[in-house]
Amino acid sequence: MQATIVTIGDEILIGQIVDTNSGYIAKALDKIGVQTHEMLSISDDKQHILDTFAALQDKVDLVIITGGLGPTKDDITKLTFCEYFEDTLVENQNVLAHVTEIIEGFYKRPITQLNRDQALVPSKCEVLFNKMGTAPGMWMKKGNTVFVSLPGVPYEMKYLVDFEIVPKIVKEYERPYILHKTIMTYGEGESRIAEKIENWENNLPDFIKLAYLPSPGKVRLRLTARGLDKEILEKKIAENVASLTKLISDIIVGFDEDETIEVIIGRLLTQQRKTIATAESCTGGKIAQMLSSVAGASHYFKGSVVSYSKEAKINVLGVDSELINQYGVVSAEVAKAMAQNIQIMMKVDYALATTGNAGPTSEPGKAEVGVVFIALATPNEVLVAEFNFGQPREKVIDRTSNKALEILQKEILKFLS
pLDDT tens, residue order, the chain (417 aa)? 899 999 998 889 999 999 999 999 999 999 899 999 999 999 989 999 999 999 999 999 999 999 988 777 777 888 999 999 999 999 999 999 999 999 999 889 999 998 898 999 999 999 999 999 999 999 999 999 999 999 999 999 999 999 999 999 999 998 888 899 999 998 889 999 999 999 999 999 999 999 999 988 889 999 999 998 999 999 999 999 999 999 999 899 888 767 789 999 999 999 999 999 999 999 999 999 999 999 999 999 999 999 999 999 999 999 999 999 999 999 999 999 999 999 999 999 999 999 999 988 777 667 889 999 999 999 999 999 999 999 899 999 999 999 999 999 999 988 765
Report the domain count for the chain.
3
Please tell me the distance from the alpha carbon of residue 139 to that of residue 124, in angstroms, as a whole number.
9
Whether a cis peptide bond, with omega within 30° of 0, leads into 205 is no
Please tell me the distance from the alpha carbon of residue 219 to that of residue 248, in angstroms, as a whole number.
12
**Residues 279, 352 contacting (CB under 8 angstroms):** yes
Last residue of a domain, one of 196, 231, 255: 255
Same domain (yes/no): 233, 271: no
Q: How far is CA 241 from CA 148, 181, 183, in A?
A: 37, 8, 8
Same domain (yes/no): 125, 241: no
CATH of the domain at 230: 3.30.70.2860
Please tell me the distance from the alpha carbon of residue 230 to that of residue 33, in angstroms, as a whole number.
11
99 membership: H or E segment, kind and range: helix 93-100
Please compute, for residue 233, the number of CA atoms within 13 A of its CA located in the half-sphere on the CB side.
18
Same domain (yes/no): 214, 324: no
Tell me the backbone φ, ψ of residue 44, rounded to 5 degrees: -80, 65
Sign of torsion over alpha carbons 154, 160, 162, 168: negative
Same domain (yes/no): 117, 195: no
Please tell me the distance from the alpha carbon of residue 207 to that of residue 223, in angstroms, as a whole number.
10
Q: Which residues pair with 121 in a beta bridge?
A: 90
Please tell me the distance from the alpha carbon of residue 282 to that of residue 306, in angstroms, as a whole number.
9
Residue type at position 188: E
Same domain (yes/no): 156, 8: yes
326-335 burial by CB neighbour count: b if 16+ within 10 A, else e? eebbbbebbb
- Give the pLDDT confidence score for residue 89 in this predicted structure: 93
Closest CA to 64 of 128, 151, 147, 171: 147
Same domain (yes/no): 13, 105: yes
- Give the pLDDT confidence score for residue 360 in this predicted structure: 81
Is 256 exposed, middle or buried, given 0-12, 13-18 or 19+ CB atoms closer than 10 A? Answer: middle
Same domain (yes/no): 128, 9: yes
Tell me the backbone φ, ψ of residue 286, rounded to 5 degrees: -65, -40
CATH of the domain at 377: 3.90.950.20
Whether a cis peptide bond, with omega within 30° of 0, leads into 216 is no
Please tell me the distance from the alpha carbon of residue 280 to that of residue 352, in angstroms, as a whole number.
8
- Give the pLDDT confidence score for residue 414 in this predicted structure: 86
- Give the pLDDT confidence score for residue 364 in this predicted structure: 67
Closest CA to 319 of 352, 329, 278: 329
Same domain (yes/no): 335, 218: no
Same domain (yes/no): 123, 218: no
Last residue of a domain, one of 149, 172, 195: 172
For residue 103, give every residue at least 6 positions away whose Cβ sits within 8 Å of its Cβ, in sequence order, or none.
109, 110, 111, 112, 115, 134
Same domain (yes/no): 61, 145: yes
User: Beta-carbon neighbour count of residue 119 at 10 Å?
Assistant: 22
Please tell me the distance from the alpha carbon of residue 190 to that of residue 183, in angstroms, as a whole number.
13
Same domain (yes/no): 210, 325: no
User: Beta-carbon neighbour count of residue 101 at 10 Å?
Assistant: 12
Last residue of a domain, one of 225, 255, 285: 255
Please tell me the distance from the alpha carbon of residue 132 to that of residue 159, in angstroms, as a whole number.
7
Same domain (yes/no): 206, 270: no
* Total-model pTM: 0.68
**Residues 41, 13 contacting (CB under 8 angstroms):** yes
**What single DSSP character describes residue 414?**
H
Sign of torsion over alpha carbons 356, 359, 362, 368: positive
Range of the domain at 240: 178-255
- Give the pLDDT confidence score for residue 127 in this predicted structure: 95
Q: What's the chain's Rg over C-alpha atoms?
A: 27
